[in-house]
Structure 1
Amino acid sequence: MKIKIIYLIILLSNFVGFSQGKDFNTFTIDLFYGDESINFYQLKTFKKGTKFYVESKNFERTSKLENDSIWILKLSNRKKKLCVNFIENLKSINIDNCETRSSAITDYTVKLTDTTIALRTYCHLDKLDFFEFRKSLFKEKIQEYKLKSDSEIKLIKKMLKGKWFYPNLLKPLKFGDTLKLSRKEINPTQFWLFEKKDSFKDSSNQIFNLKKSNSFEVIFYYEPRLNINPGVIEDKDDGSISLANYGMKFTILKITEEDLVLISLN
């Protein structure tokens, strides 16, 4: 009986020590990951007072809220354990025993209190999924962001409804070019019409090749984007479908009651 009580006291003391941060070591993870394009991700933990926090850079952001590029949350005991488990898994990885190869590069630099771990491989690391790990830590923040982005998408769609007039273009739009549309009749025969159920119409096929495009979508990919979907042609004889145009994609730089400013992604 005394042994059980002593064992229970040891467990409780370990739990209290962990909850107070005595057994939690801060770290910084720098990750370069990708295939055709390689992106940089960073996640770090730090202590402020008696509390521990996790920070992730460039997790999500919008053009309106630049501070959204840095997310910070206080670490609960459960999330501290997630961190400890991830670091322990990383330490135990043996890239020489690679069962599944990947075309994507995974390049970790993990700075711990007393050492630095470097891991660079093309191996598929089942037990070391950085993105699932990050998602688990920021689950509440992701839900909050989704609600915010969904709300903004609804607002943008509401503001888009109706006619937007566009000017004559001196040259075809290229990637990064700015397109300014207005509620004012710049040219009464040249406009885009956005209607309910995400329907779209281009009044003229002289400037943009969008005659067969009849739908659009607004999405969030770091910032709000407007996608005019590709148009299709259906053969009346055999019912086959072919592509009429590739549609167009834009970043929404500005939208007001009178003005719409887009950046071409084509």
Structure 2
Amino acid sequence: AKDSRIRVIHKENGGAGQARNVALAQATGELIGFVDSDDYISPDLYAHLYSLMDGETDVAECAIAITEADGCPFDDGTQAKTVTCTAQEAMALHIQDKLFCQTPPNKLYRRQVVEGIFFPEGNLIDDEFWTYRVLGRARKLVHSEARMYAYRQQPDSAMHKPFSRKRLQGMQAKLQRLTYLGQRMPQLVDLAAEELWMTCLYAMQGSLKGLSGEELALAKQEIGAVAAQLPPVMPDSGKRRMLLALARHSLPAAARLLNVLIDLHILN
């Protein structure tokens, strides 16, 4: 028998961003959730997240289990510790990739915080352009330590393919985030700028390893253009201070030093 609460939309494959946009445009419920096509969830995921959403909580998320197979063991959520944050507190954790990361699945959203915010279409990276804008709208956010979303790592996924200039889209998303924070949460600008400097370094590292010829030249130009817009920062970490001081003079040289530090297990 058909369930009248479920509606299937058939469309040509246009990528995850386009699929989510189509669903967002047609969704009518008060709550919104996403599950990627190759992932799976605990049957209790949404009941657990809903139980965390009091009258002012607009986003609830669970922990992610990274797996390569079916049958990932899930937590039941009954004993899970939770962290409740304001939008600014959650944004700081998001910038540092500690909690409330850019992944749209593993979360439950009130419709009002996602309405009118759409994913870029045709991108390799689309979630980093979307998530910070949603977090910034929320009144309160809750993170649960219960692992109830299985993120399946596929060896042939886009992010496991050889480095390409499309990977630089994440850097552009963080540049947009920096502008957003300057207007709405200026207290977080230095933190976001530091993380974007490091993103530029890792982008240069990937470009030097994976690109050549014109593609490498274009990547260097794009990374340099982003770095030129960043303010100088003074990280707490001495290793980062050294890297970013060098990066302000030569991003390729700083990326090569980053390789050495990683090879020596001094930095990851």
Which category of TM-score, normalised to the shorter sequence, fits these structures?
under 0.3
When normalised by structure 2's length, the TM-score is 0.21
* Larger proportion of helix: 2
Larger radius of gyration: 1
* Larger proportion of strand: 1
Higher relative contact order (CA 8 A, sep 6+): 2
When normalised by structure 1's length, the TM-score is 0.21
